[in-house]
Chain A
Amino acid sequence: AQSVTQPDIHITVSEGASLELRCNYSYGATPYLFWYVQSPGQGLQLLLKYFSGDTLVQGIKGFEAEFKRSQSSFNLRKPSVHWSDAAEYFCAVGARAGGTSYGKLTFGQGTILTVHP
């Protein structure tokens, strides 16, 4: 069964500082990996995704993530955080269920990001 661990429940950074949010996954093959962001009371916005190929993927809002198979990780990074980045971030793993069907997404517990001015 697939699973996702986000070890940090809450991270606080100062505006302009760099950011790294950790994500570790468990899956038997190469998974599909996603990062979503959610503002309070809002829906899920896709930041970036990894399917195959280049292990460093670029997303929206200046975010990037690196897939490291040896570490089963897909950490999210941003070189300089803006106050508007304050939100909750979810890592998710998905897989082809079999044949032509696509399986479910499994989400991590989320990391709440607070940005201090």
Chain B
Amino acid sequence: EPEVTQTPSHQVTQMGQEVILRCVPISNHLYFYWYRQILGQKVEFLVSFYNNEISEKSEIFDDQFSVERPDGSNFTLKIRSTKLEDSAMYFCASIPGGTFYGYTFGSGTRLTVV
């Protein structure tokens, strides 16, 4: 069964550093999402992306965050200057569009900011 792949599975970065989280959605999917889950808390929506532009973003997704789909396969989340409170599990998800069967989530990237 096709999967959404996220790399790396765990990333440690120093506060203030830029980090890029990578996702490879399922090849024929058209809608892409990033979610985050701070340890012990619920999963929160960050941003949705369709047709090479942001469809919707949450209050969390401020100017420190950006997304892009640079090459038609990867979907990246960049955090420009990481803060301690950015430490979380970040999940990528995608859906094909057309008939809706539900969201396919990746296994996540655990980001630890030290």
Contacts and interface: CB of A to CB of B under 8 A. Distances in A.
Interface of A: 32, 34, 36, 41-44, 46, 49, 51, 90, 92, 94, 96-97, 100-110
A103 B42 contact: no
Contacts, number: 61
A94 to B, nearest CB: 7
Interface string B67-110: 00000000000000000000000010101010010110111101
A108 B42 contact: yes
A105 B55 contact: no
Contacts of B97: 100, 102
A44 B41 CA distance: 14
Range, interface on chain B? 20 to 34
B102 A101 contact: no
A32 B91 contact: no
Contacts of A44: 43, 91, 105, 108
B65 interface: no
A101 B31 contact: yes
A88 to B, nearest CB: 10
Contacts of B35: 105
A102 B43 contact: no
Contacts of B102: 32, 34, 46, 49
Q: Top 8 A-B pairs ranked by shortest CB distance?
A: A43-B107, A104-B45, A107-B43, A44-B105, A109-B42, A107-B42, A43-B108, A49-B102
Contacts of A107: 42-44
Nearest to B57: A104
Interface in B35-49: 35, 41-45, 48
Contact of A32 (B31, B55, B100): B100
A41 B109 CA distance: 10
A51 B108 contact: no
Contacts of B108: 42-44
Nearest to B33: A104
A107 B44 CA distance: 7
B106 A101 contact: no
